[in-house]
Amino acid sequence: MFVGITADGLEETTMSGYAELSPDEALVLMKSEKACVIDIRDVNSFSNAHILGAVQLDQTSIGPFLETAEKDAALVIYCYHGISSHSAASFFVDQGFSRVTHIVGGFEAWQRQRLPVAKD
């Protein structure tokens, strides 16, 4: 199984089948390949600000996403504080995705590091 990028450039997987990335590590992954960035926060929070290129998934949009997404694509999942994204990462692993990551600290950590965001 895939997972994250360590300081020495190696990939690392957790026992759960997904990796935990810092916001900076997630940004490196997003720049190095075409990762699918998934925001699991509510629609209003997503509209106010989100990671550039992210898609917002909820109960109504998850089905179509699962039907069309490539199972070997790198996924970067985030929520508000990095708590709910643990469960979401496990869900995607259970659905057969092999390169699942989530951002430790969530969108809050992303913003604290002043990384790029988009607004609708």
- Residue 114 and residue 102 in contact, taking contact as beta carbons nearer than 8 Å: no
pLDDT tens digits for range 49-78: 999 999 999 999 999 999 999 999 999 999
Among 27, 30, 51, 79, the active-site one is 79
- Token pair recorded at residue 77: 């999942």
All domains in the chain, ordered by first residue:
4-118 (3.40.250.10)
Kindly give the pairing relationship between strand 117-118 and strand 50-51.
Answer: antiparallel
For 77-109, the pLDDT digits (tens) are 999 999 999 999 999 999 999 999 999 999 999
pTM, full prediction: 0.87
Does the annotation mark 79 as catalytic?
A: yes
